[in-house]
């Protein structure tokens, strides 16, 4: 049985770690919310799915949308909500990782490691999107912490809790199977952990996991397993070897760029650190490397053996333990006073915040460079409401449009709104054709959207009694030039409600 190596963190340790994690989440959330006019694309999608709690959604498992549903109920929709929610996920993940790190090193040194990991841009600037990757961060660490505590204690209850945590991670995103497999790898490489009680504990964990997964599995069976089909489409094999090598190169490049702030600070600290001795190989070190490094190796090996094109975003949850691994392998860094490492990491974080939340968006505005971050979502919402109320006294309850435009309208509305996503009722099970007949709907189509979406929305526009066009004073850039300097033309149509008082949405 692996033994606990350090004293449990005190309440003062918890308070300091919470202050660092919460402070970073609030500052980054505020910085991003104040300098961006629209939610990120995946955040816009979550604003639509969060309208209703379902056992699953057409692209993904349900937990992120459940969280968004709760947030919408508590705070109402807004652009800012998506940025604060995303940063909160990163903050909670880092705080849980700090607690796990306290099992292997003193609390203050683990806090320094947490501050180092916070420099990975997946956990700050790139945590600008409330999507399944960002939400997976805290669930992934929670599962790792629960697993370690279960292995160390052999408690049936803790094994059951691990099973629940593992299932919850799977209900966030199926790719959680990789980091969970890395945890099981620890039982293979660490002889002291392979006790009969721990092997039996896996069965207890499996029972707890199946208990939590059962409703979603039944939903998958009853709905044709749409999320699994979507996952299969995304994880497609490269058509040519050259395409696979290209995806591998882009994947490695993206991870290097995201690790660059941490690497630069480590280089600066290395030049100022005393020499250190090589660490002893222990069971705790093996666990740290299994949990922290094995998932990245496993995803690359999976791609090698299957020919699957690597997506850069798949690395977003694989660098959580970078700070702890750096301290473990770089003994000169471990020899530095943790207070000094913590101060240096916090200063670097402040510089990154100034650049990512202030300087970069400001430069885009000065250059008149248009991207999704400065999409005029408020103006679009004003156009939608004005057009609807020009022809209807009833409130606008239903939109028929794509995820991006629908999410932007919802983000600037006083209450959540039902959206027939991309014109397909199958993608929005909480709204039906009968609801559209009773409540009416505003149809919005971007002619530049994908052909499948354009075709689906055309059917709704053909049925609309009133139709027209808006010109939005914004057009995305392609390189240094805007696609259409005169603005983006959007088609709209109104399906009037059948009668007031019949709408239940």
Confidence class of residue 1 from pLDDT cuts 50, 70 and 90? very low
Query: Given this model, what pLDDT does residue 298 score?
Result: 92
> 503: which 2 tokens?
């709408």
Three-state helix/strand/coil letters over 255-319: HHHHHHHHHHHHHHHHCCCCCCCCCCCCHHHHHHHHHHCHHHHHHHHHHHHHCECCCHHHHCCCC
Q: From CA 302, how far away is CA 64, in angstroms rounded?
A: 26
Query: Given this model, what pLDDT does residue 277 score?
Result: 58
- Average pLDDT estimate for 121-128: 93
Q: From CA 150, how far away is CA 191, in angstroms rounded?
A: 16
Q: What percent of the chain has pLDDT over 90?
A: 75
Query: Given this model, what pLDDT does residue 501 score?
Result: 64
167 Cβ neighbours under 8 A, 6+ residues apart? 208, 209, 210, 211, 212, 213
**Element containing residue 179 per DSSP (H, E):** helix 177-189
Q: From CA 443, how far away is CA 426, in angstroms rounded?
A: 17
Asked if pLDDT for residue 3 goes beyond 60, the answer is no
Largest Cα–Cα distance in the chain?
79
Confidence class of residue 479 from pLDDT cuts 50, 70 and 90? low
Q: From CA 368, how far away is CA 376, in angstroms rounded?
A: 13
Asked if pLDDT for residue 6 goes beyond 80, the answer is no
State the DSSP code for 237. Answer: B
Do residues 453 and 423 touch, judged by C-beta distance below 8 A?
A: yes
Q: From CA 52, how far away is CA 343, in angstroms rounded?
A: 44
The CA-CA-CA angle for residues 217, 220, 222, to 5°, reads 110
Q: From CA 199, how far away is CA 201, in angstroms rounded?
A: 5
Query: Given this model, what pLDDT does residue 157 score?
Result: 97
Q: How far apart are the first and last CA of the chain?
A: 56
Tens of pLDDT, residue by residue over 436-457, are 999 999 999 999 888 999 999 9
Report residue 33: phi and psi, to 5°.
-65, -35
Tens of pLDDT, residue by residue over 367-402, are 777 788 889 999 999 999 999 999 998 999 999 999
Asked if pLDDT for residue 142 goes beyond 70, the answer is yes
Pick the range with the lowest mean pLDDT from 1-5, 104-108, 178-182, 371-375. 1-5
Q: From CA 161, how far away is CA 426, in angstroms rounded?
A: 35
Q: From CA 223, how far away is CA 212, in angstroms rounded?
A: 19
Q: From CA 436, how far away is CA 455, in angstroms rounded?
A: 19
Query: Given this model, what pLDDT does residue 2 score?
Result: 42
Q: In a 3-state reduction of DSSP, which class is residue 417?
A: coil
Residue found under tokens 């290209």: 246
Q: In a 3-state reduction of DSSP, which class is residue 488?
A: strand
Nearest to 428 by CA among 448, 414, 413, 410: 410
Alpha-carbon distances of 197 from 62, 154, 203, rounded to whole Å: 33, 6, 10
Residue found under tokens 């259409």: 484
Nearest to 8 by CA among 158, 86, 110, 90: 110
Q: From CA 96, how far away is CA 139, in angstroms rounded?
A: 9
- Average pLDDT estimate for 204-215: 97
Q: Which residue stretches of 354-431 are H helix?
A: 360-366, 377-391, 403-411
Please state the separation of Cα 393 from the chain's center in Å.
Answer: 39
Confidence class of residue 481 from pLDDT cuts 50, 70 and 90? low
Pick the range with the lowest mean pLDDT from 112-116, 271-275, 402-406. 271-275
Q: From CA 397, how far away is CA 402, in angstroms rounded?
A: 16
Burial 205-225 (b: 16+ CB within 10 A, else e): bbebbeebbeebeebbeebee
Q: What is the pTM of this model?
A: 0.93
Judged on CB neighbours under 10 Å (0-12, 13-18, 19+), 188 is: exposed
State the DSSP code for 419. Answer: E
Tens of pLDDT, residue by residue over 266-321, are 999 988 777 665 455 455 888 999 999 999 999 999 999 988 988 888 888 899 99
Tell me the average pLDDT of the chain.
Answer: 91
DSSP 399-443: EEE-HHHHHHHHHTSSS--EEEETT-GGG-TT--HHHHHHH-EEE
> 280: which 2 tokens?
């002893």
> 196: which 2 tokens?
């009969």
- Average pLDDT estimate for 241-266: 93
């Amino acid at each position: 049985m692996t033994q606990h190596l350090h004293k449990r963190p005190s309440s003062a340790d918890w308070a300091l770690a919470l202050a660092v994690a919460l402070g970073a989440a609030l500052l980054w959330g505020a910085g991003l919310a104040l300098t961006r006019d629209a939610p990120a694309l995946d955040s816009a999608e979550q604003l639509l799915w969060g309208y209703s709690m379902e056992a699953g959604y057409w692209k993904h498992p349900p937990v992120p949308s459940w969280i968004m549903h709760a947030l919408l109920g508590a705070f109402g929709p807004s652009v800012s909500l998506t940025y604060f929610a995303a940063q909160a996920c990163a903050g909670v993940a880092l705080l849980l990782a700090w607690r796990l790190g306290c099992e292997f090193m003193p609390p203050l040194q683990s806090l320094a490691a947490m501050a180092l990991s916070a420099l990975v841009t997946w956990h700050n600037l790139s945590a600008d999107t409330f999507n399944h990757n960002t939400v997976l961060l805290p669930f992934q660490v929670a599962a790792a912490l629960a697993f370690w505590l279960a292995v160390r204690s052999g408690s049936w209850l803790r094994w059951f809790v691990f099973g629940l945590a593992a299932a919850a991670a799977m209900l966030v995103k199926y790719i959680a199977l990789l980091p969970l497999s890395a945890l099981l790898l620890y039982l293979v490489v660490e002889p002291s952990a392979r006790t009969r009680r721990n092997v039996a504990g896996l069965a207890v964990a499996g029972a707890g996991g199946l208990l939590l997964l059962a409703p979603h599995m039944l939903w998958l069976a009853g709905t044709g397993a749409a999320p699994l089909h979507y996952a299969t489409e995304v994880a497609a094999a490269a058509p040519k070897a050259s395409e696979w090598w290209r995806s591998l190169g882009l994947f490695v490049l993206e991870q290097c760029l995201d690790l660059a702030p941490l690497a630069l600070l480590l280089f600066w600290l290395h030049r100022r650190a005393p020499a250190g001795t090589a660490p002893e190989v222990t069971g705790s070190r093996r666990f740290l490397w299994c949990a922290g490094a094995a998932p990245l190796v496993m995803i690359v090996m999976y791609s090698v053996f299957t020919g699957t094109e690597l997506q850069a975003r798949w690395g977003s949850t694989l660098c959580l333990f970078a700070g702890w691994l750096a301290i473990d392998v770089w003994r000169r860094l471990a020899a530095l006073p943790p207070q000094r490492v913590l101060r240096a990491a916090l200063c670097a974080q402040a510089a990154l915040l100034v650049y990512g939340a202030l300087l970069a968006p400001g430069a885009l505005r000065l250059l008149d460079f248009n991207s999704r971050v400065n999409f005029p979502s408020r103006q679009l919402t004003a156009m939608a409401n004005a057009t609807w109320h020009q022809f209807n006294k009833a409130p606008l309850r239903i939109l028929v449009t794509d995820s991006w435009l629908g999410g932007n309208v919802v983000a600037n509305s006083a209450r959540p709104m039902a959206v027939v996503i991309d014109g397909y009722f199958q993608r929005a099970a909480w709204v039906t054709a009968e609801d559209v007949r009773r409540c009416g709907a505003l149809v919005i189509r971007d002619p530049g959207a994908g052909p499948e979406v354009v075709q689906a929305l055309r059917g709704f526009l053909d049925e609309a009694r009133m139709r027209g066009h808006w010109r939005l004073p914004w057009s995305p850039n392609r390189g240094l030039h805007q696609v259409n300097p005169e603005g983006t033309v959007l088609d709209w149509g109104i399906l009037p409600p059948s009668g007031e008082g019949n709408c239940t949405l």
